Amino acid sequence: MSRSTKSRDATFKARVALEAVRGEKTISQIASEYGVHPNQIGQWKKKLLEELPSLFSDGRKKRDKSQEELESELYRQIGQLKVELEWLKKKSQILELRRKGH
């Protein structure tokens, strides 16, 4: 007899793990209520507690830095396109003068 594993979404896992952290019910009670193995709840709870401090870390600074890098690259591309556009304008004027000169 094979057992199928259910894929749970992040919201479900967070809700179950948060309930386990609260400690109002035992892990066994939560497991029977949600139909999840107690070991799985323990893993989700552990992960929640490990990753919780990162919510209050410097994630904003990292986003700002990547945003600055993106803006810098975009400004560089804009500058390059402006130079190319000016070059094409000059070349088209030269070609137009040559065509009129013949």
Instruction: Flag whether 2 is in a domain.
Output: no
Find out whether 14 and 48 touch, Cβ atoms under 8 Å: yes
Report yes or no on whether pTM surpasses 0.75.
Answer: no
- Looking at the fold, whether 22 and 49 belong to one and the same domain comes out as yes
Instruction: Flag whether 34 is in a domain.
Output: yes
- Looking at the fold, whether 25 and 50 belong to one and the same domain comes out as yes
What percent of the chain stands above pLDDT 70? Answer: 88
Instruction: Flag whether 1 is in a domain.
Output: no
- Looking at the fold, whether 46 and 17 belong to one and the same domain comes out as yes
- Looking at the fold, whether 65 and 50 belong to one and the same domain comes out as no
- Based on the structure, what is the number of domains in the chain? 2
Which domain does 22 fall in, by range? 7-57
The distance from CA 13 to its chain's CA centroid, rounded to whole angstroms, is 19
Interval 68-93: pLDDT, tens: 899 999 999 999 999 999 999 999 99
Interval 35-44: pLDDT, tens: 999 999 999 9
Find out whether 18 and 48 touch, Cβ atoms under 8 Å: yes
Query: If you compute the radius of gyration of the chain from its CA atoms, what whole number of angstroms results?
Result: 30
- Looking at the fold, whether 47 and 12 belong to one and the same domain comes out as yes
Nearest CA to 41 out of 18, 17, 58 is that of: 17
- Looking at the fold, whether 89 and 69 belong to one and the same domain comes out as yes
